Chain A
């Protein structure tokens, strides 16, 4: 039989992007500790609906740590205190009876609040749109084994590609910078042989699009700490190196046109 917890929640409620928000206090009683954090919110919402109050909107979908939809600040930390864990993977057994839990949306100028705990993260798509791809139109590919890729290279690309786009990195950063997200995508593609042709164009375009929306990185390292996939900050250094180089390379290529 699982433990039951009685909790106090302080939840950010905001009706829309233009409305003023405020904290609302709720009692969450008899929460089974086998429940996930989001199932705890489900239980609270069912209670609210039963009493005739509009339920709390919170972001979620896969509930298994892969889609990147979920993400709230839990007691001031993006995705809560457990390392390498998305909000949806957090379980109530990590909390204690009597705890007060403060739940807020991601806070970043680039992410307007849609409602309650849900924010608009669409600027991340803009960064990808600017160059986060390898141009390989359908039907043009050579045999997949024609270009062998050393295992270490593929593994490192995969480490970067594991990003789920939840934006906890932005939420955790004191400057609301998106360097970890951007560099993970850049390193995934720049490190592979297939990604070389567009390497410097990609880097320049993605970094500059990022800068249109987000703050700048001052190496706090909060991003990697908060990342549910524990993406390494090293990728930011690789991105910066490629970005500097891109200025030279792209100018030279432009000159040759």
Chain B
């Protein structure tokens, strides 16, 4: 494979602690009175989109927000449970910006960009202040000060939370702040509006084409810049903890228009989800990592142990994480916890009717702290578990198994969060930025809000300032007309294919391939199979998909068909990226590359880089470009959580 360009991340000069401050001083500014002359289109109303829209509106920009949801408050950020990290050191347990930075780089298995991570740790403290001022009801202690809990991959307690609904409360905060700007006329919201394509003219992003999901109308929207805050692509696995509608279309369409797609093979399998029960399973439900603070993970030592959990004596229980990793125990990072669960289940030690889970047991915690305390910490999660499984986790241990949860890969962005298409920015889970090959718990909410509140609103000015006086490109421009026609063409094609299998069917089949070959463990043969099988299935999809109904009213099959089409292309690229990366790191585990103890074995010599894939047209494979990663602060070591 030929490697083309070496990407310039535009990381500023200077000591790591000064880079962001220097950069803010050096970049171009748009003066307050001129901001109203710019229009910014924000696609997505999750934490990353809503926070950016609100702040850009406050600054004076004209903002238009697009979401396929019926209200911005339904973005998938709403589902985040456990918490948000910040280096406040309120516990006085030795936390600092540097430690959060260090933990994040290490947790990401040394595959992230140091300067970005440091900036993230720096602004983390402002996020908590900001959200508290907005009235987010964070958990508090009796003295009235903010409470914290611990999350995986850290030995300090730096996670802020609002019961088991942290994402909901943060999103409502950002949504409300955005609605205030709607009230003030600075932000306009288009709900049930799905971006189908990015419009690029003379190499710059100049707008988007959307479909109104209720009327089917295709419309063009033009602006000085486009921000993609459209979330992650975990649903390429079909079964994941993502919401049903989460998809990659916006990011993928930008990719096809020239935005490089970085590290698609870095996907995160979360260790604590409710195991699947059957073919009809439509999604998987996360049980927050915070449960690992109080729950102990184990399986019976003996095969086919049919006894109830309570009847298995202590000596016959295998607390595998506590035994293998005495210093982090149940709080090892996600990739480590997930792989270990797979190992014991593969050894035939799994529990539950399908033997596809491990126990997460709260009996010690209930005995120690009392049921009330546990209920206060995790009540809604326990209730959620009971609803789904019909079992009461206060009296029998939960059964859990890893599931796809988060995608570290995404649209490549530079230090300014700009993609390789000038004028097109990507924030939140949609970009590849800060988590390297593995994200630590409670860091996605932090990143989404950091991008939207504290980074993008500054860096976007650097791009906009020189455009002062230029009007947005007219929507009658051929660039818009052509993009609209392409979008229409695809819709008509789906409606007229007249095949035999539903988009849902194809999605499920695709998901199985992705899970089997590009899941928790990957190897060369499997990846090669994935590439050929995905592409064969894709051809069947285009020839045999059945989309009923019409374009002129709500039609979720039609929406789904478009999303699945893009997942097919993404799935294939994930396999190619995983094949190319001949090492194991974080969530990317290649069976061929492991230490004698079965841990991920990196190859820093050859793979200390970001792989950023460039679209070369429908008929030729993407080409890999690289961004070299240099580590000036953190020393690369074999991660150890022993």
The interface of chain A, by Cβ under 8 A from chain B, is 1-2, 15-16, 32, 34-36, 38-39, 42-43, 45-46, 49-50, 52-55, 57, 59-69, 84-85, 89-91, 93, 114-116, 118, 120-122, 124-125, 128-145, 147-151, 154-155, 157-158, 161-162, 164-165, 188-189, 192, 194-195
> A17 — nearest CB in chain B belongs to which residue?
B214
Name the one of A16, A36, A141, A155 contacting B129, with C-beta atoms under 8 angstroms: A141
Kindly state whether residue B537 has any CB partner on chain A within 8 Å. Answer: no
Contacting pair B90 A145 (CB below 8 A): yes
Q: Binding site of A, secondary structure by majority: helix, strand, loop or mixed?
A: loop
Shortest B238–chain A CB gap in Å is 12
Contacting pair B548 A144 (CB below 8 A): no
Shortest A161–chain B CB gap in Å is 5
Stretch from B5-13, B104-112, B521-529, B550-558 forming part of the interface with A? B550-558
Interface members, chain B 45-79 (any A CB < 8 Å): 51, 54-55, 58, 69-74, 76, 78-79
1/0 per residue, CB under 8 A from A, across B442-454: the answer is 0000000000011
Shortest B456–chain A CB gap in Å is 11
Contacting pair B554 A57 (CB below 8 A): yes
Kindly state whether residue B183 has any CB partner on chain A within 8 Å. Answer: yes
Question: Which has the most chain B C-beta neighbours within 10 Å: A39, A90, A138, A189?
Answer: A138
| Measured CA separation A116–B549 after assembly (Å) | 13
| Measured CA separation A148–B169 after assembly (Å) | 18
Kindly state whether residue B256 has any CB partner on chain A within 8 Å. Answer: no
A-B contact pairs, 13 of them (CB 8 A): A32-B280, A57-B554, A62-B79, A63-B283, A66-B167, A91-B390, A114-B554, A136-B134, A137-B55, A139-B126, A140-B133, A142-B133, A144-B133
Name the one of A38, A53, A69, A91 contacting B387, with C-beta atoms under 8 angstroms: A91
Interface members, chain B 235-263 (any A CB < 8 Å): 243-245
| Measured CA separation A207–B540 after assembly (Å) | 54
Kindly state whether residue B191 has any CB partner on chain A within 8 Å. Answer: yes
| Measured CA separation A81–B128 after assembly (Å) | 39
Shortest B48–chain A CB gap in Å is 14
Kindly state whether residue B163 has any CB partner on chain A within 8 Å. Answer: yes
Contacting pair A188 B132 (CB below 8 A): no
Contacting pair A122 B191 (CB below 8 A): yes
The interface of chain B, by Cβ under 8 A from chain A, is 51, 54-55, 58, 69-74, 76, 78-79, 88, 90, 126, 128-135, 137-146, 162-163, 165, 167-169, 172, 175-177, 179-180, 182-183, 189, 191, 214, 243-245, 277-278, 280-283, 285-286, 353, 383-384, 387-388, 390, 453-454, 457, 502, 504-505, 546, 548-549, 553-557
| Measured CA separation A53–B133 after assembly (Å) | 52
Contacting pair B134 A194 (CB below 8 A): yes
> A31 — nearest CB in chain B belongs to which residue?
B280
> A128 — nearest CB in chain B belongs to which residue?
B179
Contacting pair A54 B278 (CB below 8 A): no
| Measured CA separation A145–B548 after assembly (Å) | 56
Name the one of A39, A49, A84, A133 contacting B502, with C-beta atoms under 8 angstroms: A49
| Measured CA separation A32–B353 after assembly (Å) | 15
Contacting pair B244 A39 (CB below 8 A): no
Name the one of B55, B144, B167, B556 contacting A57, with C-beta atoms under 8 angstroms: B556
Name the one of B70, B172, B557 contacting A49, with C-beta atoms under 8 angstroms: B557
Contacting pair B546 A64 (CB below 8 A): no
Name the one of B126, B168, B175, B548 contacting A55, with C-beta atoms under 8 angstroms: B548
Shortest B288–chain A CB gap in Å is 11
In the complex where A120-B70, A133-B179, A138-B454 touch, is A154 in contact with B139 (Cβ < 8 A)? yes
Residues of B within 8 Å of A122, CB to CB, are 70-71, 191
> B55 — nearest CB in chain A belongs to which residue?
A138
Name the one of A91, A139, A141, A164 contacting B388, with C-beta atoms under 8 angstroms: A91
Contacting pair A39 B553 (CB below 8 A): no
Other 19 A-B pairs with CB < 8 A, given A122-B191, A136-B134, A154-B138: A15-B553, A36-B282, A49-B548, A53-B548, A61-B245, A65-B384, A89-B384, A124-B71, A125-B179, A129-B182, A130-B183, A131-B183, A141-B133, A144-B131, A144-B133, A154-B144, A158-B163, A165-B71, A188-B135
Residues of B within 8 Å of A128, CB to CB, are 175-176, 179
Shortest A233–chain B CB gap in Å is 20
Contacting pair A154 B140 (CB below 8 A): yes
> B183 — nearest CB in chain A belongs to which residue?
A129
Question: Which has the most chain A C-beta neighbours within 10 Å: B128, B243, B353?
Answer: B243
Shortest A230–chain B CB gap in Å is 10
Contacting pair A138 B457 (CB below 8 A): yes
Contacting pair A195 B135 (CB below 8 A): yes
Contacting pair B126 A149 (CB below 8 A): no
Residues of A within 8 Å of B165, CB to CB, are 66, 162
Residues of A within 8 Å of B179, CB to CB, are 125, 128-129, 132-133
Q: Which 5 A-B pairs have the closest CB atoms?
A: A148-B144, A141-B133, A133-B176, A144-B132, A136-B133
Contacting pair B126 A141 (CB below 8 A): yes
Residues of A within 8 Å of B555, CB to CB, are 57
| Measured CA separation A137–B174 after assembly (Å) | 11
Contacting pair B55 A49 (CB below 8 A): no
Residues of B within 8 Å of A157, CB to CB, are 135, 137
In the complex where A65-B387, A67-B243, A68-B73 touch, is A138 in contact with B58 (Cβ < 8 A)? yes
